[in-house]
Structure 1
Amino acid sequence: MVRILLILFFILSSSGFIRCSRDDVDDDHSFVTSLDPKSLSLKEEKLSHFRLYWHDIMSGSNATSISVVRPANVSATGFGIINVIDDPLTLGPKLSSKLVGRAQGFYTLSSQEELGLLMSMNFAFTEGKYNGSTITVLGRNPITHKVREMPVTGGSGLFRFARGYVQARTYSLNMKTGDAIVEYNCYVLHY
């Protein structure tokens, strides 16, 4: 792996993609331009609230959450496990509820002391006027807490320049299969 990284670095630096010389730095900072938000067709900022149900399905032949890293010595907290997700987002807690998007990304069990996740996912919307838009959630999720809060760090489409937070509440958890349904209340500032 290290050999591959060194070869990649050599190729990129010799092709001009990576520059290591201070001579390339322009001290007048002319690469920055102030813009009027109207030039990007940005309208007045608004606050939106929406509630979704996130279905993390680890069982069966159509699993939407797959473990891609599982340490040899799994601790009581699962420290080091990494799952990649493509989880349905629905309007109601039943999987048969209207599908409005997918939560795509990963989570890792990142605490040695408690059941705590690092969540990194995009809510990719597929319905209505938000079809094709996303919000990005990145943060700590201590799953044994009744309510967990994570930041919204950005977005695309109708959620450009998004910021805000989500609150997650476990609706149901099957301890045998690991399947979970989580209610997400999203509070997003966007244009």
Structure 2
Amino acid sequence: MALYLKTNYLLSNTKLSLLLSLLLLAIFILPSQSNHAHGLTQTKLTVYFQNRPSGPKATAVAIAGIPGQSWGFGNFGTAFSTDASMTEGLDKSSAQIGRGQGIMVTTAKDGSSLTLLLSIVFTNKEYNGSTLQLQGADHQFENPREVAVVGGTGKFRFARGYATFEAFRVGKSHVVSRCNVTVEHYC
């Protein structure tokens, strides 16, 4: 009698384990299939950031740095906040399609590289409300330079890819950077 109970107990644990395994499989696999039902899409965009590094309408400002040292893009430890207009063309009067908002920190001792955390926030009709999240080492004296696209929202959910930046026009109070973005995402 004791052996019979022990066997039933073991059998029910095996069934319970199998049932739990199937339940976990359903929880993790089925929702991911329905989220990606429309398939993977590749999107390529070219946008222009209208940066003002100084003056009363500055779009990138130093917010922290090493005490006693000047706070500049070439100075290790300096952190910046940015909110630059993003246009569809090179000219600053081109249609605005969004904003580039984020944080940059000069992380290379020699000042050659920034760590970039940037949200591309779209306001144009086609992608309004969608974002792309960029992150990476921005070797600021290289042209072009490349960072990773690590995510997105709205029409760019599950985005992954890369973005290149190239200083296109450089002036004392106005810098235009071309940004080419290639991302794969689900629609």
TM-score, normalised to structure 2, is 0.78
Q: Tell me, yes or no, if the aligned pair for 1:114 and 1:142 is still in contact at 8 Å.
A: no
| Matching of residue 58 in structure 1 with residue 16 in structure 2 | no
Whole-Å separation in 1 of the counterparts to 2:57 and 2:70: 25
| Matching of residue 99 in structure 1 with residue 104 in structure 2 | no
Relative to its length, the structure with more helix (as a share) is 2
Q: 2:131 pairs with 121, 131, 134, which one?
A: 134
> Aligned residues: percent identity?
28
The CA deviation at 1:58 is 2.4
| Matching of residue 73 in structure 1 with residue 47 in structure 2 | no
From the superposition, tell whether residues 164 and 128 of structure 1 become closer, same or farther in structure 2 (CA, over 3 Å): same
SS at match of 1:128: coil
Q: Tell me, yes or no, if the aligned pair for 1:166 and 1:184 is still in contact at 8 Å.
A: yes
Q: 1:180 pairs with 158, 175, 180, which one?
A: 175
SS at match of 2:28: coil
Whole-Å separation in 2 of the counterparts to 1:104 and 1:42: 31
Instruction: Provide, for residues 120-146 of structure 1, a one-character-per-residue CA deviation record: whole Å limited to 9, x for no partner.
Output: 011000002210000000001111112
Q: Tell me, yes or no, if the aligned pair for 2:85 and 2:100 is still in contact at 8 Å.
A: yes
User: Between Structure 1 and Structure 2, how many residues are aligned?
Assistant: 162
From the superposition, tell whether residues 42 and 105 of structure 1 become closer, same or farther in structure 2 (CA, over 3 Å): farther
| Matching of residue 49 in structure 1 with residue 39 in structure 2 | no
Whole-Å separation in 2 of the counterparts to 1:129 and 1:41: 21
From the superposition, tell whether residues 101 and 42 of structure 1 become closer, same or farther in structure 2 (CA, over 3 Å): farther
TM-score, normalised to structure 1, is 0.77
2:165 equivalent in structure 1? 168
2:115 equivalent in structure 1? 118
Whole-Å separation in 2 of the counterparts to 1:42 and 1:128: 24
Whole-Å separation in 1 of the counterparts to 2:124 and 2:152: 16
Instruction: Provide, for residues 67-107 of structure 1, a one-character-per-residue CA deviation record: whole Å limited to 9, x for no partner.
Output: 10132224993111111111111111221111000011111
From the superposition, tell whether residues 122 and 42 of structure 1 become closer, same or farther in structure 2 (CA, over 3 Å): farther
More displaced 10-residue stretch of structure 1: 66-75 or 138-147: 66-75
Greater Cα radius of gyration, structure 1 or 2: 2
SS at match of 1:130: coil
User: Which structure 2 residue ranges, 5 or more long, are not aligned?
Assistant: 1-20
2:184 equivalent in structure 1? 189
From the superposition, tell whether residues 116 and 92 of structure 1 become closer, same or farther in structure 2 (CA, over 3 Å): same
SS at match of 1:106: strand
1:88 equivalent in structure 2? 85
Q: Tell me, yes or no, if the aligned pair for 1:91 and 1:99 is still in contact at 8 Å.
A: yes
The CA deviation at 1:150 is 0.5
User: Which structure 1 residue ranges, 5 or more long, are not aligned?
Assistant: 1-27
Give the letter aligned to residue 118 of structure 1: T
The CA deviation at 1:61 is 2.2
